[in-house]
């Protein structure tokens, strides 16, 4: 499953990059589609986001990469929620830290109550709303591939097992457990009493 999530994240990251005004090297992107991003940002629900041509393009690219065949309502809704939220991201932080890590910690950017609401989101509409809020809290700066796989999994694109697995990983990272080195304090890097004993 991890390989499929990684592949999906890479597809979403390429799709997002293709719509931006500049390439990674800051050269002008002649294929950019800022109007599509603006439309996706304004879409109020999953059905409207699904009707956007760039959402359909992302669905096709994911289907080709992941071997999805035919129409799948759950997957299309997940892709629509993903496209909508990614349209709110202005800068890809490229996974230096996970999205959940950026949201959490001792002084979280995203309150524990809001994070709990995010973890309880089940429907594509709720997922879209919760993740859009997270992107906004992060000032439109997020690791695009990680954010995308979170939304896709949360929305059920990979089934219930992947949804629960990703949700648990996000909870772990939100509390900064996933980034700590063994034997160090997760925030300062200082040795913990147990490590120095």
Q: What is the CATH number of the domain that holds 135?
A: 1.10.520.40
The answer to whether residue 150 scores a pLDDT higher than 90 is yes
The answer to whether residue 34 scores a pLDDT higher than 50 is yes
Specify if 139 maps to a domain: yes
pTM (two decimals): 0.86
Range of lowest pLDDT (9-13, 79-83, 106-110): 106-110
- Bigger pLDDT: 196 vs 68: 68
The answer to whether residue 193 scores a pLDDT higher than 80 is no
What does the mean pLDDT of the chain come to?
A: 87
Range of lowest pLDDT (30-34, 45-49, 120-124, 173-177): 30-34
Domain around 51: 2-181
Please tell me the total count of domains within the chain.
Answer: 1
Specify if 190 maps to a domain: no
The residues, ordered by sequence, that sit 6+ positions from 8 with a Cβ below 8 Å of its Cβ are 62, 65, 66, 148, 149, 152, 157, 158
Rg of the chain over Cα atoms, rounded to whole angstroms, equals 17
């Amino acid at each position: 499953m991890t390989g499929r999530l990684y592949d999906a994240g890479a597809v979403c990251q390429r799709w997002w990059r293709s719509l931006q005004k500049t390439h990674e090297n800051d050269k002008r992107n002649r294929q950019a589609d800022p109007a599509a991003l603006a439309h996706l940002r304004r879409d109020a629900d999953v059905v409207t986001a699904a009707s956007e041509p760039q959402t359909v393009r992302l669905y096709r690219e994911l289907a080709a990469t992941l071997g999805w065949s035919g129409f799948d309502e759950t997957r299309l809704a997940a892709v629509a929620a993903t496209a909508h939220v990614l349209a709110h991201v202005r800068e890809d932080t490229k996974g230096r830290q996970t999205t959940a890590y950026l949201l959490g910690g001792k002084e979280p950017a995203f309150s524990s109550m809001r994070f709990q609401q995010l973890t309880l989101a089940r429907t594509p509409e709720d997922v879209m709303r919760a993740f859009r809020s997270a992107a906004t809290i992060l000032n439109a700066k997020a690791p695009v591939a990680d954010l995308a796989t979170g939304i896709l999994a949360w929305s059920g694109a990979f089934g219930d097992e992947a949804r629960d697995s990703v949700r648990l990983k996000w909870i772990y990272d939100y509390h900064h457990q996933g980034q700590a080195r063994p034997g160090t304090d997760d925030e300062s890097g200082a040795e913990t009493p147990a490590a120095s004993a």
